[in-house]
A and B are shown apart, each in its own frame.
Chain A
Amino acid sequence: MPRGYLCLVLHAHLPFVRHPEHENFLEEKWLYEAITETYIPLIQVFERLIEDNVKFRVTLTLSPTLISMFTDPLLQERYVRHLEKLIELADKEEGRTYGGPFHETALMYKKRFHEAMFTFCDRYNRNLVTAFKNFQDQGRIEIITCAATHGYLPFMMIYPEAIKGQIKTAVDLHTRHLGRPPAGVWLPECAFAPGLDEILKECGLKFFFTDSHGVLYASHRPRFGIFAPIYCPSGVAAFGRDIESSKQVWSTQEGYPGDFDYREFYRDIGFDLGLDYIGPYIHPDGIRVHTGIKYYKITGKVDLSQKQPYNPRQADEKAALHAGNFMFNRQHQIYHLSNLMDRPPIIVAPYDAELFGHWWFEGPKWLDYLIRKTAFDQDVVEMATPSDYLRNFPCNQVATPCSSSWGNKGYHEVWLCGSNDWIYRHLHMASEMMISLASQHSNAGGLYRRALNQAARELLLAQSSDWAFIMSTGTMVEYAVKRTKNHLLNFFRLQKEIKGNCIDEGYLGNLEYRNNIFPDLDYSWYTNTNELPKAASL
């Protein structure tokens, strides 16, 4: 038996961005970049580990919006076109860099893009959910869900049905695509408020995560701090984030991703090269964007113009070194903790999946090394998912976690500040109207059912915490504001038409076409159950 467990959690999420009405929509590129730079590299890491018969357990969130985009034929088609252009550019780059210091890196990109095309089209027939499902079915990763559109749940607490709408939609979609219901949930932004656990329980979920203080500040004071889960009064388990391991990856001073040998994110040929050459590969309107081809290393605290050429082999060695360092630190941590505890501690290390590959280019390599070293080089630490741990240690302390998030300052300020507080007035109103509509129209059929379901979709899309977050960061604000307003306005119009018995089928059809997320959603999930007799569910 190992002395302790490492619970590595990757949270993969992007907001639902799909604009069939525009051929080239800039924000749609978020998905394409993340597929090439994060999701496919992670899939390739897991594939190689399984081929080499390496034992590992990783927890992965696939947010419902991400699953929806992965399985959307329009976005799949557009991604292939995006990748074809990238391959064309990489081919040109091979010639352009010949004989220079960037040639090796140029070849690396060319190879990666070709491999990405193979993985995406040939291996998984354009549907990356299949890839992750394979890893799940082989017992290597545990896939958990998130709220349907990553809604910020603590601010919905006054409308529990709105939270149910988010969670039930998520569990339903997850089960359809992954063949089994999720055991746990990644609360959007790690944001918890007491009472939320009751709804999770009702939806069949058994665990969630909080930031460190969510569990540390629980009441009663947890015996094992963040090194063992606690049970909420509802019986749902809460796992708290480890501080030391997250700092090693995230911190500016000590974090691995800032190593001077790693690739520099901000020198991209989309910005560096002349428009006559790069023009066909950036936005058709001449707007410069990241292509993903970057030739420099971080180098040091120097001006962007002073960066030195990237050396893939050196960076690879650093990734191995950092993986070793991370494992060494976990071993020490676990040695120390296991002497104090009467059971093996669990170290919970959650990260945004998009950190790996997209931002920290060498991240997937680091993960690969870390998993291999953990499997072969030592026997102090073993990887485990929350379900694994709860199966082995079902007896845990009961305590109520503290309301918290993993946002700046640890509470809810990022999603409730001067730049975004105006949205709650409208989101709450829409939630109240949705609940009232659902409660008044039980068993609606035909056009009414379609309109009610679409109203729920529009509400969900408006609730994405991503919009409030973007508003608070101050960049790309206009897009986030428009998305919030548009979905709310769509909702209010549908609500009015349903109430007034005058549904405009053309308008509804257009919304169904444009915002086609969650085809199996059932508006009755918003029904106010308090007002219904218990037998109503029979």
Chain B
Amino acid sequence: MNVLFPLLFLVVILAAAVIFLWPLIRSRSVKENEYENPSPPLFNEEFSEGLSLPPADLSAQQLQCLPEPELPHYYGIDRMVLLARDPHWLFAYWELTATKQDEFANHYGPEAWSATQPVLRVYDITGIDFNGKNALGYTDIHISESTDNWYVQVGEPDRSFCVDLGRMFPDGRFITLLRSNAVTTPRASLSDRLDEEWMWIEGLYRTIGKFQFGVGSPMIVEELAMRSAGLPLGISSPGFKQEKIE
């Protein structure tokens, strides 16, 4: 029995792997047929997207010699990471272990998990040393049980935020399970802070305003099709915002 058990386990794993990987293998073979006869692209558009297809397909073929890798989705560690994407958006991802879930159940009762809802609480912690209670304010976002990442629209440049993942009871009680790191959104305009010794030269800024930095979509970004045929150039786009300096 002791010898059989690991063997049985192995068989189950293998079966699961076959079931899991089958759609991947199948979809790949469909894709191969699609490009079975790579024909020269018709130059019916100036920047034909067709140029990209043969190289993409080739990579797929070459890489098929390598084993199909899959990363674990979870690492068994309770964590929540917050990133500031731009002046208006944050991105959070997290992992909640079963142990953490059990702890919650032990503390609040076996029914507590199903009686509560997962909520993201986004704290404004600008300029303070956050201790969980002293936030300037917060917003709650109700999410679904299976969600493990979220883009948070804060809409506030140059502010600091921290996010808790927690459970909310029907009576509004919020229990924190995970707390993220703190981030600050980037500024989206000139700083209000002026330096007396280095007073800004207004005329000089007007020069810049005249040139309208943020010229919209620059050549390289507009012509992404080029990347398919050319080198993976960095972006080098001066087009960040459609606005002038006030």
Judge whether A250 and B236 touch: CB under 8 Å. yes
Residue of A nearest to B182 (CB): A158
Judge whether A485 and B69 touch: CB under 8 Å. yes
Judge whether A30 and B232 touch: CB under 8 Å. yes
Judge whether B218 and A189 touch: CB under 8 Å. no
Q: Which residues of B contact A218 (CB under 8 A)?
A: 191
Judge whether A217 and B188 touch: CB under 8 Å. yes
Provide the bound-state CA to CA distance between A26 and B62, in Å: 9
Stretch at the interface among B9-17, B80-88, B108-116: B80-88
Q: In the complex, which of the residues B41, B203, B219 has the most CB atoms of chain A within 10 Å of its own CB atom?
A: B219
Provide the bound-state CA to CA distance between A342 and B213, in Å: 24
Judge whether A266 and B48 touch: CB under 8 Å. yes
Which size class do B's interface residues fall under?
A: 35 or more
Judge whether B232 and A470 touch: CB under 8 Å. yes
Residue of A nearest to B238 (CB): A246
Judge whether A158 and B229 touch: CB under 8 Å. no
B241 at the interface (CB under 8 A from A): yes
Taking a contact as CB atoms closer than 8 A, the residue among A246, A301, A424, A488 that contacts B93 in the complex is A424
Provide the bound-state CA to CA distance between A250 and B233, in Å: 13
Stretch at the interface among A364-372, A474-482, A498-506: A474-482
Q: From residue B180, how far is it (CB to closest CB) to chain A in Å? A: 10
Taking a contact as CB atoms closer than 8 A, the residue among A251, A399, A466 that contacts B215 in the complex is A251
- Given A26-B55, A223-B200, A410-B241, do A247 and B190 touch, yes or no (CB 8 Å)? no
Q: Which residues of B contact A241 (CB under 8 A)?
A: 238
Judge whether A413 and B239 touch: CB under 8 Å. no
**B-facing residues in A415-442 (Cβ within 8 Å):** 416, 421, 424-426, 428-429
Q: In the complex, which of the residues A22, A399, A402, A426 has the most CB atoms of chain B within 10 Å of its own CB atom?
A: A402
Judge whether B195 and A221 touch: CB under 8 Å. yes
Q: Which residues of A contact B86 (CB under 8 A)?
A: 409-413
Q: Which residues of A contact B48 (CB under 8 A)?
A: 266, 304
A408 at the interface (CB under 8 A from B): yes
B189 at the interface (CB under 8 A from A): yes
Judge whether B211 and A243 touch: CB under 8 Å. yes
As a 0/1 sequence over residues 1 to 43 of chain A, the CB contacts with chain B under 8 angstroms (1 = contact) are: 0000000000101110001011001110010011000000000
Q: Which residues of B contact A350 (CB under 8 A)?
A: 236
Residue of A nearest to B50 (CB): A271
- Given A27-B59, A265-B229, do A211 and B238 touch, yes or no (CB 8 Å)? yes
Q: In the complex, which of the residues A301, A355, A403, A426 has the most CB atoms of chain B within 10 Å of its own CB atom?
A: A403
B61 at the interface (CB under 8 A from A): yes
Judge whether A410 and B240 touch: CB under 8 Å. yes
Stretch at the interface among B18-26, B96-104, B220-228: B220-228
Q: From residue B219, how far is it (CB to closest CB) to chain A in Å? A: 4
Q: Which residues of A contact B170 (CB under 8 A)?
A: none
**B-facing residues in A72-128 (Cβ within 8 Å):** none
Q: Which residues of B contact A414 (CB under 8 A)?
A: 235
Q: Which residues of A contact B52 (CB under 8 A)?
A: 475-476
B201 at the interface (CB under 8 A from A): yes
Judge whether A421 and B91 touch: CB under 8 Å. yes
A519 at the interface (CB under 8 A from B): no
Judge whether B63 and A482 touch: CB under 8 Å. yes
Q: From residue B115, how far is it (CB to closest CB) to chain A in Å? A: 29
Q: Which residues of B contact A283 (CB under 8 A)?
A: 58
Q: From residue B207, how far is it (CB to closest CB) to chain A in Å? A: 6
Q: Which residues of B contact A351 (CB under 8 A)?
A: 236
Q: From residue B243, how far is it (CB to closest CB) to chain A in Å? A: 10
Residue of B nearest to A274 (CB): B40
Provide the bound-state CA to CA distance between A340 and B201, in Å: 8
As a 0/1 sequence over residues 249 to 283 of chain A, the CB contacts with chain B under 8 angstroms (1 = contact) are: 01110010110000001110001100000000001
Q: Which residues of A contact B66 (CB under 8 A)?
A: 482, 486
Provide the bound-state CA to CA distance between A482 and B187, in Å: 35
Judge whether B238 and A406 touch: CB under 8 Å. yes
Taking a contact as CB atoms closer than 8 A, the residue among B41, B75, B193, B230 that contacts A265 in the complex is B230
A352 at the interface (CB under 8 A from B): yes
Judge whether B149 and A421 touch: CB under 8 Å. yes
Judge whether A189 and B234 touch: CB under 8 Å. yes
Q: Which residues of B contact A27 (CB under 8 A)?
A: 59
As a 0/1 sequence over residues 165 to 204 of chain B, the CB contacts with chain A under 8 angstroms (1 = contact) are: 0000000000000000100101111111111011111011
Taking a contact as CB atoms closer than 8 A, the residue among B45, B61, B149, B219 that contacts A251 in the complex is B219
Taking a contact as CB atoms closer than 8 A, the residue among A304, A341, A413, A479 that contacts B59 in the complex is A479
Which A-B residue pairs are the 3 nearest by beta carbons?
A410-B240, A304-B43, A411-B86
Using CB atoms and an 8 Å cutoff, list the residues of chain A in contact with chain B. Answer: 11, 13-15, 19, 21-22, 25-27, 30, 33-34, 155, 158, 189, 194, 211-213, 216-227, 241, 243-244, 246-247, 250-252, 255, 257-258, 265-267, 271-272, 283, 285-290, 301-305, 336-337, 340-341, 350-352, 354-355, 358-359, 397, 399, 402-404, 406-414, 416, 421, 424-426, 428-429, 466, 469-470, 473-479, 482, 485-486, 488-489, 492
A-B CB contact pairs (8 Å), 7 listed: A158-B181, A216-B213, A221-B191, A221-B195, A408-B237, A421-B149, A476-B56
Given contacts A33-B231, A350-B236, A482-B66, 6 further A-B contacts (CB under 8 A): A212-B213, A217-B190, A226-B208, A266-B43, A337-B204, A466-B232
Using CB atoms and an 8 Å cutoff, list the residues of chain B in contact with chain A. Answer: 38, 40-41, 43-48, 51-52, 54-63, 65-66, 69-73, 75, 77, 81, 83-87, 89, 91, 93, 95, 149, 181, 184, 186-195, 197-201, 203-205, 207-208, 211-215, 217-224, 226-241, 245
